[in-house]
Amino acid sequence: MRASPGLSDTILQDTAQDAASADVDAFIALVGARTRRARALRAMSRRVLSERSGVSQRYLAQLESGQGNISIGLLMRVAQALKMRIEFLVGEDDPWESETVQMAQHFRDASPEQRQRVRQILNVGPDHETRRQRICLIGLRGAGKSTLGRLLGAELGLPFTELNQHIEEQSGMPVAEVMALYGQEGYRRLEHEALERIVTERDAVVLAVAGGIVSESETFTLLLRNFHTIWLRASPGEHMERVRAQGDRRPMAGNPKAMEELTSILTSREALYARAQATVNTSGESVEDSLARLRHVVEELGIAADED
């Protein structure tokens, strides 16, 4: 006759179950956080997401708060038991047939040095030719895009321009009015069209873009493909102080949580900004020092100055 499990066995089983339950809860919370972040990046309300997805606002609220369907967590446990990532089970491509999925797995398993070599291989040749002498500075407002972009353009002998200027020329009105009349979606459409026009008309330019351009996947992909992109990074506090130093009090006016919101935006966009080819941290730096760092990065990217 098989012996009944002892107290120690029962405790071990309970401990294992508690650990598994905690993993599931953590994963569901992660899915909720990523859903919330994705919605924020798209500047989409929960109501609009509900209408487009056919999922109720109530369920979306539960999902974003970490109270999603337990089956999500159970699927994660199955994937873990198979020693696979969950997207291996739910991705649209057949993981046993898709070269993309297999290469992604190899990339995850590679060493940092191997990953860097792969990135270098994928970024040479046609991409460099496609980008030509187009440089784009990305980052939140107050990072120094306009100031450093204008100075960099002068040093390289390249024209400097801001994407919002082209949007205003195209629409015949200030950006604020564009937003008021056409909303976020209308502005994003004009933004994409203006960027396409610059790519078509100019082979050499230093461009500064609004901080939220990274939230529009198609436009940001167009930007990354056709420009040498550099992220001008700064701390939330410096972003805020620089905007106020420009005489704009709107970020703080009547909003005691302005700094908290700014920090949240920067955090949510950090992974997108990091897709740039290079990063220049302007925190605590003078304009001259930041410009020197930026010029060094440009030289490393192999962008030659205008000889004319």
Q: What is the pLDDT of residue 125?
A: 44
Model pLDDT, residue 24: 67
Q: Could you read off the pLDDT of 99-149 as tens digits, one per residue? A: 776 777 777 788 877 776 776 566 544 456 678 889 999 998 888 899 999
pLDDT tens digits along 26-66: 767 777 777 777 777 666 788 887 887 777 888 778 878 87
The domain of 50 spans: 7-68
The answer to whether residues 63 and 137 belong to one domain is no
DSSP-assigned beta bridge partners for residue 162: 208
Put the strands of the sheet holding 133-138 in their side by side order: 160-162, 204-208, 133-138, 228-233, 278-281
- 4 versus 220: which is more confidently predicted? 220
Domain count, the chain: 2
Residue that terminates a domain, selected from 22, 48, 68: 68
Predicted TM-score of the model (pTM): 0.57
Span between the terminal Cα atoms of the chain, in Å: 94
Q: Which residue has the higher pLDDT, 96 or 217?
A: 217
- Least confident segment among 22-31, 91-100, 146-155: 91-100
Q: Give CA–CA dist 64/39, Å, rounded.
A: 10
Note the pLDDT of residue 89: 63
**Does residue 307 fall inside a structural domain?**
no
Q: d(Cα 33, Cα 66) in Å, to the nearest integer?
A: 7
CATH code of 187's domain: 3.40.50.300
Residues 235 and 143 sit within 8 Å (Cβ to Cβ):
no
- Token pair for residue 59? 């369920």
